[in-house]
Chain A
Amino acid sequence: VTELTGYRRPDGRFGFRNHVLVLPLHVAACGAARRIADGTPGAVSVAHDWNGQGSREDRTRVRRVLSGFATHPNVAATLLVGLEGDDGIAAEARERGIATELLTLVGHGGTEAVVSAGLGACAQLAASAAAHRREPAPLSAVCLGLECGGSDALSGITANPALGVASDLLVAVGGTSILAETSELIGAEHLLAARAVTPEVGRAVIAIIDRFERDVRALGVDLRDGQPVPGNMAGGLTTIEEKSLGAAKKGGSAPVTGTLDFAQPALTPGLNVMDTPGNDIEQMVGMVAGGAHIVAFTTGRGTPTGSPIAPCLKIASNSAMFERLRGDLDLDAGTIADGHESLQEVGRRIHDAIVECLSGRLSAAERHGNREFAISRVHPLEIAAHPAAPPAAG
């Protein structure tokens, strides 16, 4: 079994990748950020559509995501590219001891000038990051994001409960897990609430699902338009409740120690429930911004997505799909349905793969350069610009 190794950051946290992140803080800076990262070996950037306009709630949400990425322990150095300012994000990253530079389009007078200044700054950040070395790390330092995407009828029987076993193993030694995707917990909330460490946490779990259902109703839309998605149904899932009962299995049997808002830092060890959409990318971004070092992602249909700054391990729910899309997948949990392995055995295998991956082995998504990124909004721009739109009931 591999010994867990990571990078000890100046603030004492462990990171398990050593990324140089070029982070645009505004949609206008995305082109420049991409060119800077493309011109710096080893650097990664993200793209998003945030233009600074939105409701107060969405501003908070977006800021939490950007700050969570800029200060993530998997990031050794951050180059922030803003429009005019940085909303205090550079100071937060520096406080944590992350090598940080800030450039703005206005300060430099446009895209070309920011790109040429950024290439120089980023080369220096990359050089400083290269000096960091791995050292042994305790499992209790790990924060694991739990995700399922493109689920099928086997997901809730093989891959999800096996991942639940792996999550329980991590939580048992003092680690942290994040269970998310609110729309895919509908119908399973009472089971999670019953496992809460206190009645308050149980009520908070119920409240997350209640609020989501109320918001959807207030918008006058039918949840079932968007969930389950077409691939889920092609894979044999019939209703959102059925999907949820399978999805919640990723959380294993550990007590629920706390709830988190979207992208809120996960500071309490144990199993946390984060309020995110079921949308694969927005969910992954929320969990990673909240501190997940790695995402374990089960899939029945097969999907290649990954995070710009965290490894993403793909676990197939069925062996046929695993064989067909092998290059995009890391582990096969279909062996449970075939009778070749038990849930416990696959769970242990997932646990070991998580340790290996954290210690440096690249996930399929990393080998392919999958770095999807999108920021979930509660009020998309159109609604934010029209206060007359129906408010959330309550």
Chain B
Amino acid sequence: VYGRVKGVTIVGVRGHPVVVEAHIGRGLPSLTLTGLPGAAVQDARDRIRPAVESAGLEWPLRRIVVNLSPGSLRKDGPGLDLPMAMGVVAASAQVPRERLAHYAFAGELSLRGSLVSTPGVLSVAIAAARAGLEGVVVPAANANEAALVEGLRVVGAGGLAEVCGFLRGTWEPPVPQAQEESQPAAHAVDFSEVRGQEQARRALEVAAAGGHNVLLVGSPGAGKTMLARRLATVLPGLSKHEALEVTQLHSVAGLLHEGSLVGIRPFRSPHHSISLPAMLGGGSGFVRPGEVSLAHHGVLFLDELTEFRRDAIESLRQPIEDGRVVVTRMIGTVEFPARFTLVAAANPCPCGYEGDPRRHCRCPPTRVQQYRQKLSGPLLDRIDIRLVVPRLSKRELLGGSAGEASSAIRARVEEARERQRHRYEALGFPCNAQLPGPVARRTATMSAGGRDLLARAVDTLALTGRGFDRALKVARTVADLAGVDEIGADHMAEALSYRLDLSEGSLARAG
């Protein structure tokens, strides 16, 4: 009359073990659910009886109480359908208990008793491994995903009947394919498709090498989106650990298509009408990761930066600073990782043609001023590399020569990253962009020429303290790409060219 099954609920990206108890007692047939169930778990109340009956199992016509422990933790998500159903099945002694205790169960049930693809299975598997369980029983559609966790037996079942067959020893699941050897998915785009734009290509290479954020300013059609999309292709390859993190986030968001490891750096480009919860993560009840977390270890592209809501732009400060985002909802506080490279794009003025040599800008100067003001502020302070993307000349448009391929650029980027890793190993920073100002000043070694140029820039360009640090960090990356330890005058000059002052004058001059 008592059954006990292990399940997992997901808070943020982390799985938390949940013990599902079922008790069958005397009384009129009913099903009571206790232990802080969220909306999706409440739903399961009416779903598991038809599922159990459709699977050819008996639903006990007694008073059933299902309890989810620990009682202080709010449980949400459809993943608890299966452990709840199995709790009732176990309590009515329809399956043997030997295997039951050593597995965690997760999956959404259909009314016909089949298991449907469920978000967050990877997090479930990680939690099960951490709890020292032998394995997990999950929907067959999510078996490959769970199999990414090493040392865990994965049972991918099509439905309740198979789950019971497994517990009785009458059905053995197919072994999920280990997919580590399968080649990583290729990016759909490549830098070789970009014609011209030498300065922008170079700037993005520097951005990738040092992990710097980028602002691209240019007329419509100049190629800002095209360039941004290709930044993800020149970032260093994902490590196994990073790939798991990305996969886990995408799994929780329900975006994992074939249930396989996300092998390439994500590129996310939310529309400018995006709401705050969609950007940072949220939702009532089950808290989903937002765009900043879906872009974790990849690129977050904000096209038409000036069109985004002010609070959405401001909200990016925390993730850019900390590499994580803390979402506070009614049910409590949830934390998601969110370390991304930001690429923002904007037109130079409301009509888009200010500074364009061919088309005339029709905006009154005051409007341009207002527009530029939107481009300033705290977010821009955190963008190290800013440049103008000019429209292509006739020669560049017609000239068919393909640019350098992403793979060649990526090789240089990886080398530069290796130098940074080596240098900052003891300090715990992965790349130049993430260095705090004082550390950058302490660790950078400059040649006399480089130091002199920077000193003059403080006067002539009116560099602020933060602007000084930015120039220094970018110069450090340029030197790393060149493979030298000392920042020379030419490295500093290039770094200073990536600081676009939007507050004054025409971009034709600035660019």
Bind each other: no
Residues of chain B touching chain A, judged by Cβ–Cβ distance below 8 Å, are none
Residues of chain A touching chain B, judged by Cβ–Cβ distance below 8 Å, are none
